[in-house]
Amino acid sequence: MSDKDSNRPNTEQAEEAVRVLLAWMGEDPERKGLRRTPARVLKSYNDWFAGYDEDPAAILGSSFPDAEGYREQVTLLDIDFESHCEHHIAPFIGKAHVAYMPDQRVVGVSKLVRVVNAFAKRLQVQEKLTEQIAACIDEVLQPRGVAVVLEARHQCMTTRGVYKKNTNMITSAMRGCFETDDKVRTEFLTKINSGGR
C-alpha cells in the first residue's frame, strides 16, 4: 500500500484507524507494548495486500512462444498461498494447483506462482480468486485449456463463527479442454489426488 493514490488515506490516518480499533476492543493504544502496533499493522498490510500494486497479466506477459513444440499438460501442484477474505479480513490459507495445455506459448513456472500471489494478496473470496487466476492465464497465454483448484482453510470459520477447525474449502475453475475433455481433466485431478507422485 502506498500513499501515491490521492484517494487513499495517508499513513497517519491509517495508523489512527488502528488506534481506534485498539481502543474499541478495550485496549489502551498508548500503553508501551502497543505504541508501535499501528505502524507494524500497516507494515503487515503492505505484505498481505501487496497484490493491489501488481499487474498479474503483466507478470505473464513475458511468455515465450513455442517450447520445442511442447503441447502436453504443464502442472504446478501445491503452490502455497495466503489470502484474506473480504467479509472478515481474516486469513484463508491453502494450496493452489494450476495446469494448462499450451498452444503457442509457455511461461516460466515461477510466473504462475507470482500470478497466484498477485491475486491472493488482496481481499478475496475463494471462488473469485480461483476464477481470476484461471481467466488471467487463459487471456494472456491463450492455451488450449487451463485448470485451477484451490483448497484452503478460512480462519473466519476455524477460529470464530462455526469453529470448524478441519474444514477445507475446495474450489475449481476449468476452461477449454479441461472443461470439455474428461481425459485431460482426469489427468490433472489424478495428479492432485496422488500429491504429484
Mark whether 136 is an active-site residue. Answer: no
Q: Any bridge partners for residue 123, and if so which?
A: 84
77 vs 156, beta carbon nearer Zn ion: 156
Mark whether 97 is an active-site residue. Answer: no
State the minimum distance, in angstroms, from the CB of residue 169 to Zn ion. 10
Tell me which residue has its CB nearest to Zn ion. 156
43 vs 87, beta carbon nearer Zn ion: 87
d(CA 122, CA 51): 5
Mark whether 84 is an active-site residue. Answer: no
d(CA 103, CA 132): 20
Catalytic residue among 84, 85, 97, 124: 85
d(CA 195, CA 143): 24
d(CA 130, CA 190): 19
Q: Which residues sit at the interface with Zn ion, rule CB under 5 A? A: 85, 87-88, 156
State the minimum distance, in angstroms, from the CB of residue 43 to Zn ion. 23
- 3-state DSSP helix/strand/coil percent for the chain, to nearest 5? 45, 25, 30
88 vs 128, beta carbon nearer Zn ion: 88
d(CA 43, CA 133): 26
State the minimum distance, in angstroms, from the CB of residue 154 to Zn ion. 6
State the minimum distance, in angstroms, from the CB of residue 58 to Zn ion. 29
Catalytic residues: 85-88, 126, 154, 156
